[in-house]
């Protein structure tokens, strides 16, 4: 952690990205205290107003305060990003480790993953949502499938390499079970690349969910969401551009910040970039 903080301090732009993520996290945690208005409150008398002293980001076509909806939208952004990361990383690690360690499992699982990866991510998500229906959990499931396959592929390759290391062979020779080898010796050496993958998954999953919401098949429109705000505001972009620009700015800023922090994590943790496969923990 200390080396990561030092790397952030040396890279000013990455430090700015980390601070932005902290601010967005604070917005999500303390939304009721920060938002000056009810995000669902309607006031048709002030609809489509520009930024004012009372409405900092202006109002939308229903007279709702855009700043308050942006603040509450940070909650959904963090929940969706965390949900996709947990779902894709946990299942990806499990599938990748078992596939890499047990060849017969890997032959079947990797072929299924090849089939899933052959579909365009957005088309696959749309198909899953057509089957499962709209809803937050279904959106997380549909988007997470794409990153589940990518994570499983990465873990599969790393597991194939680590299981041939001398310390794993020595552990196997003294009679350790496969479960113990996977849990005590292979899994700890996978955590660094998994953490790096998680940051990029968080970033790009937000873009995929934004595309789904824009197409009207994601999160229900009554829930305050940056992505829903963009979808609703595109009709009024010439009359009240703030309806679309402010939530769009926050999406871009969040994705960029995740990528900047992910670059630092990759340089500090990912063995492929540090060229330290020979020094994995025993």
Could you tell me where the beta strands, DSSP code E, fall in the chain? none
SS3 9: helix
Q: Taking the model in full, what pTM does it have?
A: 0.78
Alpha carbons within 13 angstroms on the beta-carbon side of residue 78 total 18
- Which secondary-structure segment (H or E) carries 47? none
pLDDT computed for residue 215 by the predictor = 76
Residue 59's DSSP bridge partners are 65
Q: What is the pLDDT along the chain (282 residues), one digit of tens a residue?
A: 566 666 667 777 878 888 888 988 898 889 888 888 888 888 888 888 878 888 888 888 888 888 888 898 888 888 888 888 888 888 999 999 998 888 888 888 888 888 888 888 888 888 888 888 777 788 888 888 888 888 898 899 888 888 888 888 888 888 778 788 888 888 888 877 888 788 888 888 888 888 887 777 777 777 788 878 887 777 887 888 888 888 888 888 888 888 888 777 776 665 444 544 344 443
Residue pair 80/251 in contact by the 8 Å Cβ criterion: no
Nearest to 83 by CA among 2, 42, 137: 137
Nearest of 155, 256, 271, 248 to residue 200 by alpha carbon:
256
Determine contact, residues 188/180, Cβ cutoff 8 Å: no
For the chain, domains (ranges, CATH) are 2-279 (1.10.3720.10)
């Amino acid at each position: 952690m200390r080396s990561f903080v030092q790397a952030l301090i040396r890279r000013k732009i990455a430090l700015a990205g980390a601070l932005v993520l902290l601010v967005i996290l604070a917005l999500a945690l303390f939304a009721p205290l920060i938002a000056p208005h009810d995000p669902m409150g309607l006031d048709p008398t002030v609809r489509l107003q520009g930024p004012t002293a009372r409405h900092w980001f202006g109002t939308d076509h229903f007279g709702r305060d855009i700043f308050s909806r942006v603040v509450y939208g940070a909650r959904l952004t963090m929940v969706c990003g965390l949900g996709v990361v947990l779902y894709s990383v946990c299942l990806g690690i499990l599938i990748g480790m078992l596939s890499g360690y047990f060849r017969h499992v890997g032959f079947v699982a990797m072929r299924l993953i090849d089939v899933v990866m052959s579909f365009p991510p957005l088309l696959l998500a749309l198909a899953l949502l057509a089957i499962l229906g709209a809803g937050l959990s279904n959106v997380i499931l549909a988007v997470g499938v794409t990153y589940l396959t990518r994570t499983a592929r990465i873990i599969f390759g790393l597991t194939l390499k680590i299981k041939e290391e001398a310390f794993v062979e020595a552990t196997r020779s003294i009679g350790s079970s496969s479960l113990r080898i996977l849990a005590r010796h292979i899994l700890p050496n996978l955590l660094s690349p998994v953490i790096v993958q998680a940051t990029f998954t968080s970033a790009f999953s937000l873009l995929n969910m934004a595309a789904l919401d824009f197409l009207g098949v994601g999160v229900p429109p009554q829930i305050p969401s940056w992505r829903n705000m963009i979808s609703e505001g595109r009709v009024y972009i010439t009359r009240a551009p703030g309806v679309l620009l402010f939530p769009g700015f926050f999406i871009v800023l969040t994705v960029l910040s995740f990528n900047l922090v992910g670059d630092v994590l990759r340089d500090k943790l990912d063995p492929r970039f540090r060229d330290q496969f020979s020094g994995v923990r025993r």
